[in-house]
Amino acid sequence: MAANAEGWATLPNSLDGMHWWYNRGLIQLNYFVSVVFCAQFLNGFDDNLTAGLQALPSWHTALNHPSQSDIGLMNAVFYLGGLLSAPIAAYIADRFGRRWCVRWASLMMLAGTVIAVTAGIEPSSGYTLFVVSRAVCGSGLAFSLMVGPILLQEWAHPKQRALIGSMYNLNYALGSFIVAWIIFGTTFLPNNWAWRIPTLLQIVPALYLTIVINFVPESPRWLMSKGREREAMSFLVAYHGNGDAHDALVLFEFEEMKKAIRAERAKGRTGSWLQLFATRRNRHRTAIVTLICSMQNLSGSAIVGGYYTQMLDLVGITSPASQTGINGGLTIAVISGALLGFYLVTRTPRRRLLLSSWIALIIVNVAFVVTAQQFVTRASKPAGVTHVVLLFLYLFIFFIPCGSLFFSYNVEVMPYSLRAQSQGLWAVQNKAISIFNGYVNAIALQRISWRYYLVYTGIMVVQLVLVYLLCVETKGYTLEEIEALFDGKTSKARIAETEVNKNENNHDE
């Protein structure tokens, strides 16, 4: 199968023999890509903001000292907002275009941030206002999380698609890194500005995104699906062909998109949610999306990311400065893992990257159990220190596939007509699991302590087996070629069919 990949790479293209920064069309396209990256940067900023604020005494005072159950509810409400809005986002993405989802996300983040900053002005309403802000932000971010990976995959030049997909969640890591160190810096402020400054700064990327999303183009595949073939062709010529309407790769992509969308319509694929389960191949695709979602959210990452303060409490590290400083260090591990994943994604087959990362993560999870148990039952200081080191190692390993594959692979395996629905399903599953994590994890860590890690160890072993059984290799293929893989066709066969279609069209003219 791999031998037949990248057949499209043999076609002449304006990018041949040059770096992308010498290609005007690619410069413009990659700026548009950076706008979607900003949305994921905002997601990372917001996620680590909420986790980091829990280490600040002034935040607890402003919110009238919420209990662990209250904090769990606050996190669950954020994901509930996303759970309820995800199906709406899928409809809007298909009906009105991908950009509307990003636009809505930025507006909700602006509104939610303003509400959050006002929390605590009246102590009696501080917690309530902050919970409302989390619901508003959650309902918005679900839109960008669902459609961002789709836009990137549908925009990207074939030579850059894997790299751009792998860079998406790197921006989450960057947002987490920046807010973690901002919180560390404000930790030493003696008043509510310790938590209000980092919260207020969230307005900057949200406002930028609200403005610039109005100037980016629509997905060419969405345009094609709406019968706007001329506009789809104009996109490909401008950004993939650097203005050359006769570019061989551009003509191949155009014919491939047109053929794929027409074939889906002929098969009765109308974008219905039921189509996700209608055929054996679609059930296979849907199972992969569900598996990737579970790997993102049921691998213990939610404990490390959202409840690191409780984990540090567990091993005796309780001062705000120590906890926020360690949080900043953890974000360095996140970025390092994401960068390694970015390096590996174009060099390593997808299956191998997923399998090897998960084996390593299971080993670290077992070590979590041992070190936490030793510290809690024997007060072993070396075990406590080792546990903290393992936090860094865990996030480093987790973000190798999470940074490079978890937001692109599930889009790759789906045909155009089901892409928004599958991402909607992913978002619903993501938020449902996150509600569980947001509410249960804090209580479980408090009630059964280190034993809770054992639950995730068992889940991860099952996930490893399912990756081996279900995941297909997609490295080196275009989106339409990946669709053909599920139909048993090779890349070379697709190119041959496209050449025949082009010749027939020329003959008809």
pLDDT single digits (tens) 348-404: 899 999 999 999 999 998 988 888 788 778 877 788 788 888 888 998 999 999 887
- Per-residue pLDDT at 488: 64
Q: Token pair 């297909």 is at which residue?
A: 472
For residues 28 and 242, the answer to whether their CB atoms sit within 8 Å is no
The predicted structure's pLDDT at residue 489: 57
The confidence band for 116, taking pLDDT boundaries of 50, 70 and 90, is very high
User: Please, what's the b/e burial string for 127-151 (b: 16 or more CB within 10 A of its CB; e: otherwise)?
Assistant: bebbbbbbbbbbbbbbbbbbbbbbb
Does the pTM of the predicted model rise above 0.95? no
Q: Which of residues 172 and 504 earns the better pLDDT score?
A: 172
Residue 77 lies in a domain: yes
Tell me the residue range of the domain where 482 lies: 20-500
Q: Nearest-CA neighbor of 112 among 151, 74, 138, 150?
A: 138
Sequence-ordered list of residues with C-beta below 8 angstroms from that of 256, at least 6 positions apart, any chain: 478, 480, 481, 494, 498
Look over the chain and give the mean of its residue pLDDT values, rounded to a whole number.
Answer: 85
pLDDT value at 189 more than 50: yes
Q: What is the pLDDT of residue 498?
A: 45
- Per-residue confidence (pLDDT) for residue 478, from 0 to 100: 78
Answer with the residue of higher pLDDT: 39 or 10. 39
478: closest CA among 259, 306, 262, 321?
Answer: 259
Which pLDDT band, with edges at 50, 70 and 90, does 270 fall under?
low
In a domain, 406, yes or no: yes
In-domain check, residue 287: yes
Distance between CA atoms of residues 463 and 349, nearest Å = 18
Q: With a cut of 80, say whether residue 327 has pLDDT above it.
A: no
Mean pLDDT of the region 404-413: 87
Q: How far apart are CA 406 and CA 40, in angstroms?
A: 13
Percent of the chain whose predicted confidence (pLDDT) is above 90 = 38
Q: Decide if pLDDT at 421 tops 60.
A: yes
Q: How far is CA 141 from the centre of its chain?
A: 11
Residue 6 has pLDDT above 70, yes or no: no
Q: What pLDDT, on the 0 to 100 scale, is given for residue 434?
A: 81
Residue 4 lies inside a defined structural domain of this protein: no
Question: Tell me, what DSSP letter sits at residue 158?
Answer: T
CATH of the domain at 249: 1.20.1250.20
Residue 83 domain-assigned?
yes
Q: How many structural domains is the chain composed of?
A: 1
Look at residues 442, 397, 168, 409 and name the one whose alpha carbon lies nearest to residue 302.
Answer: 442
Q: Is residue 355 part of a domain?
A: yes
Q: 3 falls in which pLDDT band (50, 70, 90)?
A: very low
92 found inside a domain: yes
Residue 3 forms part of a structural domain: no
Residue 294: count other Cβ atoms within 10 Å of its Cβ.
18
